[in-house]
Amino acid sequence: MSRKIYFPASLLPLILLFAFPGKAFSQNPAAGNNTGIEAAAAQIAALEKKENEIEQKVVKKIYEIKASIDSYNNSEKSLKGPTGLGRIEQMELKAERYSIERQARKLFEKEVLELIDLLKIWNEQKNQITEDKKYLELKQKILSLETSVSQEKVTVTLQDKKNIEYYEVKKEATLKEISALPDVYGNPSSWKHLYEANKEKIKDPAKPVPVGTVLIVPNVKSSSDFEDLE
């Protein structure tokens, strides 16, 4: 007596549940101005596209398996034959049924193995997307922090600009001598304000500042709190 290959109705939902565990595709993350973020977002978009293609292959393969099983069951039913067959006819019918069953099982095993391979690839894709999204999220946080710090610096700079002036050195002189000029502070003891505001240009406050150097002059009250430069 031949054996049927049954495909229970409950099997398809189980396979689909395994293949689509809580499936919810994310939107492609918005790429920031940073090149690294744009590259990461583009890679995620490409991976999600590939994942979608694999998903369609998985669904197609599941229904191919079901179709193969249905085809076998229909073929098996058509080979029942009339009653009262002779011994030779019965043996021939059994041989034909066995051949069909063997071919069906071989095809079924091949398609199941292909489905397993697809699910492995699909799982790898989803894991890669998850990792890339974590990386993208980190890059976005870093960019956000950098932008925030940059904006704070700009705000401070804009506020400071209201309280500073500029002075172009017309004659080589030390900071103490420049600070004593009427156009600057008119007080040699205020030289340190100049030094603090112009450290990038002045390596040694005791040395003369070259002609043509543009110095930042913070608008502060003159102070005698600083010791004279020796």
Confidence of residue 106 (pLDDT cuts 50, 70, 90): confident
The predicted model gives 157-169 an average pLDDT of: 69
Confidence of residue 189 (pLDDT cuts 50, 70, 90): very high
104 and 212 assigned to the same domain: no
155 and 168 assigned to the same domain: no
| Residue 229 phi, psi dihedral angles, 5° rounding | -75, 125
79 and 137 assigned to the same domain: yes
Q: Which of 120, 139, 160 is the last residue of a domain?
A: 160
28 pLDDT higher than 50? no
118 and 17 assigned to the same domain: yes
The predicted model gives 180-203 an average pLDDT of: 90
Rounded to whole angstroms, the Cα distance separating 113 from 48 reads: 24
Could you give the C-alpha distances from 192 to 1, 209, 224, in angstroms and in order?
105, 14, 10
141 and 168 assigned to the same domain: no
3 pLDDT higher than 70? no
179 and 149 assigned to the same domain: no
Confidence of residue 208 (pLDDT cuts 50, 70, 90): very high
Q: Is 230 a member of any domain?
A: no
Q: Which of 160, 189, 208 is the last residue of a domain?
A: 160
Q: Is 62 a member of any domain?
A: yes
176 and 139 assigned to the same domain: no
Confidence of residue 77 (pLDDT cuts 50, 70, 90): low
59 Cβ contact list (under 8 Å, min separation 6): 16, 19
127 and 182 assigned to the same domain: no
60 and 17 assigned to the same domain: yes
Q: Is 92 a member of any domain?
A: yes
Residue 93: the pLDDT is: 67
Tokens 């091949």 locate to 110
Three-state secondary structure call for residue 173 = strand
pLDDT digits 0-9 by tens, 30-63? 434 467 778 888 888 888 888 888 888 888 888 8
More confident residue, 32 or 114: 114
Q: Residue 189 is part of a domain; what is its CATH number?
A: 3.10.350
Q: Which of 110, 143, 160 is the last residue of a domain?
A: 160
Residue 210: the pLDDT is: 93
Q: Is 61 a member of any domain?
A: yes
Q: What is the pTM of this model?
A: 0.38
Count of domains in the chain?
Answer: 2
What six digits make up the tokens of 156? 């401070």
Q: Is 2 a member of any domain?
A: no
Residue 160: the pLDDT is: 56
pLDDT digits 0-9 by tens, 115-141? 888 888 888 888 888 888 888 888 888
| Residue 199 phi, psi dihedral angles, 5° rounding | -60, -30
Count of all residues that appear for the chain in the document: 230
48 and 128 assigned to the same domain: yes
62 and 135 assigned to the same domain: yes
16 and 60 assigned to the same domain: yes
Q: Is 228 a member of any domain?
A: no
Q: Is 226 a member of any domain?
A: no
Check: CB of residue 29 under 8 Å from CB of residue 133: yes
Confidence of residue 191 (pLDDT cuts 50, 70, 90): very high
Boundaries of domain holding 30: 11-160
Q: Is 176 a member of any domain?
A: yes
195 pLDDT higher than 80? yes
DSSP for 189-208? GGHHHHHHHTTTT-S-TTSP
